[in-house]
Amino acid sequence: MNAIARPSETWSTNFFVVDALHEARTHAQRATILLRLSDAVIAAKVEPLQDACRETGFQAGVDFLSLRLAQHCATRTKTGEMPKALVEQLEYWRNGMVAIAGVRP
Protein backbone atom coordinates (compact mmCIF):
# COMPACT_ATOMS: atom_id res chain seq x y z
CA MET A 1 0.00 0.00 0.00
CA ASN A 2 1.18 3.49 -0.76
CA ALA A 3 -0.73 5.19 2.00
CA ILE A 4 0.95 8.37 3.19
CA ALA A 5 -0.09 9.92 6.46
CA ARG A 6 -0.88 13.57 6.02
CA PRO A 7 -1.63 15.89 8.93
CA SER A 8 -5.20 17.06 9.01
CA GLU A 9 -5.97 20.74 9.17
CA THR A 10 -6.71 20.37 12.89
CA TRP A 11 -3.24 19.05 13.73
CA SER A 12 -0.89 21.52 15.31
CA THR A 13 2.77 21.90 14.41
CA ASN A 14 3.49 23.20 17.93
CA PHE A 15 5.34 21.34 20.64
CA PHE A 16 2.60 19.49 22.55
CA VAL A 17 3.23 21.42 25.78
CA VAL A 18 2.69 24.69 23.91
CA ASP A 19 -0.65 23.35 22.71
CA ALA A 20 -1.52 22.33 26.27
CA LEU A 21 -0.75 25.85 27.52
CA HIS A 22 -3.02 27.32 24.83
CA GLU A 23 -5.79 24.82 25.55
CA ALA A 24 -5.69 25.31 29.33
CA ARG A 25 -8.76 27.21 30.48
CA THR A 26 -7.17 28.87 33.50
CA HIS A 27 -3.83 30.17 34.71
CA ALA A 28 -4.07 27.51 37.43
CA GLN A 29 -3.97 24.83 34.77
CA ARG A 30 -1.06 26.58 33.03
CA ALA A 31 0.86 26.85 36.31
CA THR A 32 0.37 23.13 36.89
CA ILE A 33 1.83 22.39 33.47
CA LEU A 34 4.85 24.65 34.03
CA LEU A 35 5.60 23.19 37.46
CA ARG A 36 6.01 19.72 35.97
CA LEU A 37 8.45 20.63 33.17
CA SER A 38 12.02 19.39 33.36
CA ASP A 39 14.99 21.72 33.06
CA ALA A 40 15.88 20.06 29.76
CA VAL A 41 12.47 20.81 28.23
CA ILE A 42 12.58 24.40 29.42
CA ALA A 43 16.11 24.88 28.07
CA ALA A 44 15.14 23.46 24.68
CA LYS A 45 11.73 25.10 24.28
CA VAL A 46 11.75 28.24 26.45
CA GLU A 47 10.84 30.67 23.65
CA PRO A 48 7.71 28.89 22.37
CA LEU A 49 6.67 28.18 25.98
CA GLN A 50 7.04 31.84 26.89
CA ASP A 51 5.20 32.87 23.73
CA ALA A 52 2.28 30.63 24.71
CA CYS A 53 2.21 32.17 28.18
CA ARG A 54 2.27 35.70 26.71
CA GLU A 55 -0.47 34.87 24.20
CA THR A 56 -2.72 33.64 27.02
CA GLY A 57 -1.98 36.59 29.30
CA PHE A 58 0.01 34.52 31.80
CA GLN A 59 2.94 36.87 32.51
CA ALA A 60 3.80 35.02 35.74
CA GLY A 61 4.47 31.97 33.56
CA VAL A 62 6.82 33.96 31.32
CA ASP A 63 8.75 35.18 34.37
CA PHE A 64 8.84 31.73 35.98
CA LEU A 65 10.27 30.20 32.80
CA SER A 66 12.94 32.93 32.63
CA LEU A 67 14.00 32.17 36.17
CA ARG A 68 14.01 28.40 35.59
CA LEU A 69 16.25 28.90 32.56
CA ALA A 70 18.57 31.20 34.53
CA GLN A 71 18.79 28.55 37.26
CA HIS A 72 19.57 25.85 34.73
CA CYS A 73 22.34 27.92 33.12
CA ALA A 74 23.80 29.49 36.29
CA THR A 75 27.45 29.05 37.07
CA ARG A 76 27.80 27.01 40.24
CA THR A 77 29.95 27.86 43.24
CA LYS A 78 33.33 26.19 43.68
CA THR A 79 31.55 23.45 45.65
CA GLY A 80 29.03 22.90 42.85
CA GLU A 81 26.12 24.68 44.50
CA MET A 82 23.76 27.08 42.81
CA PRO A 83 24.15 30.68 44.04
CA LYS A 84 22.08 31.12 47.21
CA ALA A 85 20.24 34.20 45.95
CA LEU A 86 19.08 32.31 42.86
CA VAL A 87 17.96 29.34 44.95
CA GLU A 88 15.89 31.66 47.15
CA GLN A 89 14.40 33.48 44.17
CA LEU A 90 13.51 30.22 42.45
CA GLU A 91 11.85 28.88 45.60
CA TYR A 92 9.82 32.09 45.95
CA TRP A 93 8.58 31.80 42.35
CA ARG A 94 7.98 28.05 42.64
CA ASN A 95 5.80 28.68 45.69
CA GLY A 96 3.96 31.35 43.71
CA MET A 97 3.27 28.90 40.89
CA VAL A 98 2.08 26.33 43.44
CA ALA A 99 -0.31 28.93 44.87
CA ILE A 100 -1.62 29.82 41.41
CA ALA A 101 -2.01 26.14 40.54
CA GLY A 102 -3.82 25.49 43.81
CA VAL A 103 -1.95 22.23 44.34
CA ARG A 104 -0.90 20.74 47.63
CA PRO A 105 2.10 18.49 48.27
Per-residue confidence (pLDDT) for residue 9, from 0 to 100: 52
pLDDT in tens for each of the 105 residues of the chain? Answer: 455 545 445 556 678 999 999 999 999 999 999 999 999 999 999 999 999 999 999 999 999 999 999 999 999 999 999 999 999 999 999 999 999 999 887
Per-residue confidence (pLDDT) for residue 104, from 0 to 100: 80
Per-residue confidence (pLDDT) for residue 12, from 0 to 100: 61
The residue ranges of every structural domain in the chain are 16-100
Per-residue confidence (pLDDT) for residue 14, from 0 to 100: 78
Per-residue confidence (pLDDT) for residue 1, from 0 to 100: 46
Contacts of 103 (CB under 8 A, 6+ apart): 32, 35
Report in angstroms the alpha-carbon separations of 55 from 16, 27, 51. 16, 12, 6
Per-residue confidence (pLDDT) for residue 8, from 0 to 100: 46
Its pTM stands at 0.84
Cα 24 from Cα 83, distance rounded (Å): 34
